[in-house]
Structure 1
Amino acid sequence: MAVKQEKQDERAAVNQKAEKLLKDYGNSILRMAYAYLHNMSDAEDILQETLIQYLQTAPVLENPAHEKAWLLKVAANQSKNRIDYNRIRQTDELEETLVAEKREDLRFVWEAVRALPEK
């Protein structure tokens, strides 16, 4: 029973720390992430990921100014990673000429592949 209470106390402490971080720095992190991403949903994800990373790593910092700097740096790095992630996943629309019809002969697929640029 003592172990269960200890885990509950630990969870309560983590929740309290998360609430404090969100209250103190949440708006700054969200604004900075939005400035990078221009997408509120992605910026909110970055805010959440930043807070989770802080809680998981529990960095030892000299003062609250360093805490804010750490959070903003992590959020900036995660925002840059999200930009790269989004860029990689951008795709072109599939041309109607490539849409498969019900055909047994799939030579058109090979022809479409050969028509692609080398790069």
Structure 2
Amino acid sequence: MSPSPISTARRLRSTSKASKGVPSSKTKEKSLKASGSTRKLAGKKRERKASSGEDSEDSEDSELESVKKKMRRLQAEIDKATKRKEAARKASKLFKLIALQSHAHYIQ
């Protein structure tokens, strides 16, 4: 015999809640009957959340500093590329000048 459709629906509902991390009513009751050490931990978590505003400012500052460092590195790479291009232009002008002088020397 197959299970009734109602029991199947209940079973599916209970497994879907468990898979989504939704606590059952029994779990909620157990959490309300917490021991003193658990309450202390909950108090520490509240303290951490209260001080997290300061941490977020620190993290924003550190994030800003890391972005500034990346910008400096990128600007240095751009400057290097610009210097290379300028050096290549000067070298090509120099080679052209040498070629013209040697060609003019042959003509004389």
Query: Fold conserved (TM > 0.5)?
Result: no
Q: Which has the higher contact order (CA 8 A, sep 6+)?
A: 1
Between Structure 1 and Structure 2, whose CA radius of gyration is higher?
2
Higher helix share: 2
TM-score (norm 2): 0.28
TM-score by length of 1: 0.27
